[in-house]
């Protein structure tokens, strides 16, 4: 294979600088420290966020820029949702405040029900991915890493699907199937008899039972996935019914 035959010229190792850049420290100015370890979560949960100021002021630190972005994304939420977003933003980096992991774990231990009821699903996904690096128990870290892979691949696939011109709720037509072999010698997926979905999702549901910090979050996300009408799993369900009807 020549370099012209590679998806990433030079190999996967060439992606490391981009990966490292996205995980560089969030610098901050005086007065922008992360909330202390003993912060009152209940008080933050009852405090509405201030409006986002636009245009964004110049000369902000990376932390202040992140806070400004989150004020727009989380408009209508409370300071507790903002703290959760800032915690994840810090903890996804290589370097973060020393008490950040303990504060994140305390937040989920004490306010799990509030977080599940109030946070957008996208932030729940980010939360379980964060447990992959900062969970105390191996069962939590292992389960969280599996969710990281699941949702990352779903995001890549669904982003490509958008270029088909079809809405996410519309399944592909079975008669349009291209019969070219799958990449890397993988066997094809049988719409009628394939069990890949079960092998992918069922172990996550099973393993959630044994993950003390992430189990409830994991099953909440799997339920949300099952109820979403715009996923590859729902489209395959429609295609399966069409294939069974045709047969």
Length in residues, the chain: 247
Which residue do the tokens 């997926």 mark? 189
Both structure tokens of 1: 């294979």
- Residue-level pLDDT at 5: 86
Q: Are 33 and 67 in contact (CB under 8 A)?
A: no
- Residue-level pLDDT at 228: 98
Q: Give a yes or no: residue 215 inside a domain.
A: yes
Q: Give a yes or no: residue 130 inside a domain.
A: no
Q: Give a yes or no: residue 206 inside a domain.
A: yes
- Cβ-proximal residues to 88 (8 Å cutoff; 6+ apart), any chain: 104, 123, 126, 127, 130
d(CA 91, CA 108) in angstroms, rounded, equals 14
- Residue-level pLDDT at 238: 93
HSE-up of residue 117 (Cα within 13 Å, Cβ side): 6
Q: Are 101 and 62 in contact (CB under 8 A)?
A: no
48: β partners:
78
d(CA 217, CA 214) in angstroms, rounded, equals 5
Q: Give a yes or no: residue 3 inside a domain.
A: yes
Q: Give a yes or no: residue 174 inside a domain.
A: yes
* C-alpha dihedral sign at 91, 36, 141, 214: negative
Domain coverage including residue 14:
1-119
Q: Give a yes or no: residue 160 inside a domain.
A: yes
Same domain (yes/no): 56, 99: yes
Q: Which of 85, 119, 153 is the last residue of a domain?
A: 119
Q: Give a yes or no: residue 200 inside a domain.
A: yes
Q: Give a yes or no: residue 132 inside a domain.
A: no
- Residue-level pLDDT at 1: 44
d(CA 200, CA 1) in angstroms, rounded, equals 32
E runs forming strands in the chain: none
- Residue-level pLDDT at 101: 98
- Residue-level pLDDT at 199: 95
HSE-up of residue 29 (Cα within 13 Å, Cβ side): 8
- What's the number of domains the chain is made of? 2
> Residues in the chain with pLDDT < 50?
1-3
């Amino acid at each position: 294979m020549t370099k012209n035959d590679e998806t990433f010229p030079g190999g996967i190792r060439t992606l490391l600088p981009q990966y490292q850049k996205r995980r560089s420290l969030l610098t901050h100015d005086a007065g922008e420290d992360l909330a202390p370890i003993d912060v009152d979560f209940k008080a933050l949960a009852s405090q509405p966020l201030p409006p986002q100021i636009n245009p964004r002021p110049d000369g902000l630190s990376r932390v202040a820029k992140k806070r400004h972005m989150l004020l727009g994304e989380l408009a209508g939420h409370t300071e507790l949702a903002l703290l959760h977003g800032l915690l994840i933003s810090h903890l996804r980096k290589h370097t973060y405040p020393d008490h950040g992991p303990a504060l994140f774990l305390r937040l989920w231990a004490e306010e799990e029900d509030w977080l599940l009821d109030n946070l957008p699903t996208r932030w729940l996904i980010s939360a379980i991915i964060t447990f992959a690096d900062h969970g105390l128990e191996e069962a939590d870290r292992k389960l969280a890493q599996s969710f990281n892979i699941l949702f990352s691949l779903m995001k890549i696939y669904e982003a490509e699907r958008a270029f088909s011109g079809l809405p996410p709720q519309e399944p592909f037509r079975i008669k349009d199937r291209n019969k070219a072999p799958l990449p890397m010698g993988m066997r094809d997926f049988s719409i009628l008899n394939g069990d890949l979905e079960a092998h992918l999702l069922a172990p996550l549901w099973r393993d959630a039972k044994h993950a003390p910090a992430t189990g409830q979050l994991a099953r909440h996300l799997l339920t949300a996935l099952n109820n979403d009408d715009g996923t590859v799993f729902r489209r395959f369900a429609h295609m399966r019914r069409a294939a069974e009807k045709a047969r």
